[in-house]
Amino acid sequence: ARVMKRAVAVLEPYLEKEKRAAASAQGRILLATVKGDVHDIGKNIVGVVLGCNNYEVIDLGVMVPVDRIIAEAKARAVDIVGLSGLITPSLSEMVHVAQEMQRAGLEVPLLIGGATTSRMHTAVKIAPFYAPGVIHVLDASRAAGVVGQLINPATRTAAVARVQAEYEQVRRERAGAQERKQLLGLAEARAQAQAVDFVTHRPERPARPGVHRVTPALADLRPLIDWTPFFHTWRLPGRYPGILEDPEVGGEARRLLGEAEALLDRCAADRSLAARGVLGLWPAARDGDDLLLYADETRTALLRRLPFLRQQRRSHGGRPNCSLVDFVAPVGGPADWVGAFVVSVHGAQALATAAETAGDDYAAILAKAVADRLAEASAEWLHREVRRSWWGYAPDEDLDNAALIAEEYRGIRPAPGYPACPEHLAKRWIFALLDAEAAAGAALTENCAMTPAASVAGWYFAHPEARYFGMGRLGRDQVADWAARAGITEDEAARWLAPHLD
């Protein structure tokens, strides 16, 4: 892609002359990350792939509102619109864009992509609202083939019809599965909560309670980078470090890692990438499915009451229906504690913009991918420091990076928007508790995407039995209950929890 971009830049004056004699591009594709979302690595890779396949790509960037998507699609007479998003609220925004494109009378195919998107969600939630055709694209490597079929007048109708038939079958199968998998009522689910031991286990008091800012050096973070997701960003299959010796992709993996390490060397020298973070440790207790945070250790003044969700799946194996608050001692029990954190890596956008200006899309994507890895390493580093010193419940922990990646330590750090706590709205509570905008330089969009994009936020639970789990589907009764406890309307709660509704 790098060679292609630079070669095209040289040839462009000659190509422009030929455009006056005959059409040059195979078709015109509009790409956008939807409103409320700032993630664009996948979208940018798709754009490069399509550009190298002789398509004209109009990239509107991130946080793009629906009215601009429609206006640009009409004004530029595009052949296809592609939407991208990473956070789960973007799934609802994509539904809205599809509805508005239908209302506006657009007749071009709509492509859906992004880490949280899926064939199932596209078929069930998006495709019914846009008649000209909605197609989920798994990753950038599939984009050129899908676009080629949709651009070609000889294959477009059949391609759209085939996908629509597949999606109709998906919807029928989904409806049947939903009928078979009935959820428990919320009261019954609460009655089957996990019984966590607070008799033999007595929670440890943090050595340094309160809110604290941190600025880890890149030298502290680099040994903690998990490189496997980095290679997956580029669709190189395998796990690090074994991927480096893979007979098929090992050579490319080693080259890619070398360029990432060289970028980290430069950033360590000129400080063009820098990490900032903030953590808090508060006295806490569980009251039903609410987490109570107290202002101080007298536990007389309530700092914040936070509503959590609970699994409602019906289990035939007697498994409990979990909530993260199960890992916190109840009101009246032993004095317990809960933590939260936000970490951000700053500078990636400036590096990416400079690279794009120089015509090097590959370097721009590399900078953002490396920043993402540093953000995750920052979360790993901070959690380790919390366990060993700030909270101090595991002062003698000595795990190598492989053991850290395998989560062989005590405690968890679940992130809002992920399976155990799918409510992205919780980021607002964490940011307010930590004053994260001032402390870490991070901010939230209206849909609770974090900026800079290389950011991680989450909770700290320290109980030895604390574990990750998937929330699964939620019933209408819990949505109404959670809305009341969160102080929002039921419709707003349904919007935040849309991908998880029964």
Spell 219-239 as b/e; 16+ CB within 10 A means b. Answer: eebeebbbbbebbbbbebebe
Q: Three-class SS of residue 369?
A: helix
Other residues' Cβ atoms within 10 Å of the Cβ of residue 470: 13
- Catalytic annotation present for 500: no
> Whose structure tokens read 């071009």?
108
309 phi, psi to nearest 5 deg: -100, 165
Helix (H) / strand (E) containing 113:
strand 110-113
Please name the residues in contact with 164: beta carbons below 8 A apart, sequence gap of 6 or more.
Answer: 127, 133
Nearest CA-CA partner of 375 in 446, 277, 447: 277
Residue with tokens 């849309």: 498
Residue 150 three-state SS: helix
DSSP secondary structure string, 384-428?
A: HHIIIIIS-S-TT----HHHHHTT-SS-B---TTBTTB--TTHHH
Phi-psi label, residue 130: left if phi above 0, alpha if psi -120 to 50, beta otherwise: beta
CA–CA separation, 467 vs 412, rounded Å? 6
Residue 177 tokens read as 């599965």
Query: 361-399 b/e with 16+ CB inside 10 Å = b?
Result: bbbbbbbbbbbbbbbbbbbbbbbbbbbbebbebbeeeee
Q: Give 271's contacts (C-beta < 8 A, 6+ positions apart).
A: 347
| SS3 letters across 432-459 | HHHCHHHHHCCEECCCCCEECCCEEEEE
CB neighbour list of residue 237: distance below 8 Å, 6 or more residues apart: 231, 243, 249
Find the angle CA(423)-CA(424)-CA(429) to the nearest 5 degrees.
95
- Given 39, 424, 463, 500, the catalytic residue: 39
Based on the residue annotation, tell me whether 39 is a catalytic residue of this protein: yes
Residue closest to 501 by CA, chosen among 479, 470, 480: 479
Task: Please provide the DSSP assignment of 178-247 as one string.
Answer: HHHSPPPPHHHHHHT------SS--PPPPSS-EEEEE---HHHHGGG---HHHHHHTT--S-TTGGGG-T
| Length in residues, the chain | 502
Q: Which of 40, 84, 90, 92 is catalytic?
A: 90
SS3 labels along 275-305: EEEEEEEEEEEEECCEEEEECCCCCCCEEEE
* Residue whose tokens read 């492509």: 111
Q: Which positions are catalytic?
A: 37, 39, 90
